[in-house]
Structure 1
């Protein structure tokens, strides 16, 4: 059986009682925008009146979630950055958002891809950062309180105040392993990896908690990278060095206009394709588009540009998964 290797230079699993810094400003790749730049961005963004393209976003909402057989890995796109990943005998949710609306933006332009009632037992939830489109309070309230939750540094308290009993907060390059219920062997290792982003949930907690992505490695060697929210930069090459053989990269391709404002923290479609190459992933599945209107680009432009960039890079078309909302693919 494949043995989960220890990540190079990994400090080990994080434990409670650590002396975290007051903030993580030193992890920023670029300075945060000023209030003047924020005002200019909102003025350029303007109202989005015509959302007619939303009807062309593919939706394949099944009545029930397909179940993976033993040894199978499946991914299902729920919408935005939410995936249901069935890997190593576990069912994992990434940045779960089942709400029709989140603060500050109009309601979903496409439906939730998987009915909450059709989900099996959730074995783990991973959170990339605390922005409202990735950490949704109404959805988290629906998660059983005994569910293991893996979060960035200094975000555990948010979950414990809501009654969660199995919360692990990690720094970059740290990990935790989770085995299927009733099993003492195998399972999945969850490694928290860097991203080019930031965090804030209120006016007073800017960068008080960390941000990042996740690498999931099953005991059969299957490896999935969930990038969360990120701009383009040097971290992708380092992730490739530490976690070779990534089978699938779940990468954001939307929310990139206006480019002068979004570039440090959000990939555009061409950068997402390059990031997939950088991390050495065989396949790429797109996300962070077609759900919430967060930026100025046309609704369908992200997937169209990603497809052109993928083909220009000479990658096999079948290895680019621009999935319909609610679609499941077997790896």
Structure 2
């Protein structure tokens, strides 16, 4: 298993002999305005350049879209990605939208979906607290995580854009992942609070999965992510988490 942190939530996951491009956010630095109604909305997105060559990013076997927010699938990705690539999405609604963009092989993930020897399982998550969904359900929408399994590989759980909650706890108990990727930038929306994991959420995962290696992704690339890598590293050191928590810079590759 090789996990290549590209930028934001964009990853290349090499697993079971296949390469999966996850949540491509491929525009040049400052291409878009900040997300309206979020903290630091005056800052343009993406906040940093891509540091991975585009030919590396586009060398993949299948695409996974955990949801369709603009920092997980942007206009640049729509233009750059080949239309005949297999695309895995969370439900039939997202599938129809992706098909309308001209993609011809779009597959909603199920409990167990097999792709050339790799088993992909859709997991539930929630893009904010229960209270946030009372007031902002339409903005936050539905999201998924994905569990990767294959013969000879450790089990990988890509949690997606979720906060710590019972759904995540259940996923950890059910799949017992060896490696966990978290959206860890503590994105903030005034009035709704954190909509992805912050330090307390990450520690909760760390404590609930005492054998797993954890990777912090979705950091320092969009305006409303307020938790920096340096701050998370300091928190991890203070809380005895450094042995099992990796905080990769963009373009870093982790091997498990």
TM range (shorter): 0.7 to 0.9
Alpha-carbon distance in structure 1 between the residues aligned to 2:250 and 2:160: 18
User: CA offsets per residue over residues 139-160 of structure 1, 9 Å max, x none?
Assistant: 1332222211110111001111
CA contact (8 A) 1:285 1:320 kept: yes
SS in 2 for 1:85: strand
One of 232, 238, 244 as aligned partner of 2:170 = 238
2:149 corresponds in structure 1 to 217
Moved beyond 6 Å, runs of 4+: none
SS in 2 for 1:99: coil
Residues 188 and 103 from structure 1, CA distance in 2 versus in 1: closer, same or farther, beyond 3 angstroms? farther
1:227 corresponds in structure 2 to 159
2:89 corresponds in structure 1 to 151
Q: When you count strand as a share of all residues, which structure comes out higher?
A: 2
One of 163, 170, 177 as aligned partner of 2:109 = 170
CA contact (8 A) 1:252 1:272 kept: no
**TM-score, length-normalised on structure 1?**
0.65
Alpha-carbon distance in structure 1 between the residues aligned to 2:158 and 2:99: 24
* Number of equivalences: 237
Q: Kindly state the Cα deviation for residue 279 of structure 1 after the two structures are TM-superposed.
A: 4.6
Alpha-carbon distance in structure 1 between the residues aligned to 2:152 and 2:140: 36
1:99 corresponds in structure 2 to 27
Q: Kindly state the Cα deviation for residue 193 of structure 1 after the two structures are TM-superposed.
A: 0.3
1:247 corresponds in structure 2 to 178
Alpha-carbon distance in structure 2 between the residues aligned to 1:268 and 1:258: 13
Q: Kindly state the Cα deviation for residue 273 of structure 1 after the two structures are TM-superposed.
A: 2.7
- Residue 234 of structure 2 is aligned to residue 302 of structure 1: no
1:80 corresponds in structure 2 to 8
Alpha-carbon distance in structure 2 between the residues aligned to 1:210 and 1:258: 16
- Residue 208 of structure 2 is aligned to residue 278 of structure 1: yes
Instruction: Give the superposed CA RMSD.
Output: 2.5
Matches within 5 A, 1:31-46: none
Alpha-carbon distance in structure 2 between the residues aligned to 1:158 and 1:130: 9
Alpha-carbon distance in structure 1 between the residues aligned to 2:158 and 2:251: 18
User: CA offsets per residue over residues 210-239 of structure 1, 9 Å max, x none?
Assistant: 311111112214211112211221112210
Q: Kindly state the Cα deviation for residue 312 of structure 1 after the two structures are TM-superposed.
A: 4.4
Residues 102 and 275 from structure 1, CA distance in 2 versus in 1: closer, same or farther, beyond 3 angstroms? farther
1:262 corresponds in structure 2 to 193
Alpha-carbon distance in structure 1 between the residues aligned to 2:250 and 2:87: 24
CA contact (8 A) 1:270 1:305 kept: no
1:142 corresponds in structure 2 to 80
1:60 corresponds in structure 2 to none
CA contact (8 A) 1:149 1:166 kept: yes
Residues 276 and 177 from structure 1, CA distance in 2 versus in 1: closer, same or farther, beyond 3 angstroms? farther
What runs of 5+ residues in structure 1 fail to find an aligned partner? Answer: 1-72, 180-186, 199-204
SS in 1 for 2:19: strand
CA contact (8 A) 1:91 1:120 kept: no
**TM-score, length-normalised on structure 2?**
0.82
Residues 149 and 247 from structure 1, CA distance in 2 versus in 1: closer, same or farther, beyond 3 angstroms? same
Residues 193 and 276 from structure 1, CA distance in 2 versus in 1: closer, same or farther, beyond 3 angstroms? farther
Q: Kindly state the Cα deviation for residue 166 of structure 1 after the two structures are TM-superposed.
A: 1.5
CA contact (8 A) 2:33 2:45 kept: no
Q: Which has the larger radius of gyration?
A: 1
Q: Kindly state the Cα deviation for residue 207 of structure 1 after the two structures are TM-superposed.
A: 7.6
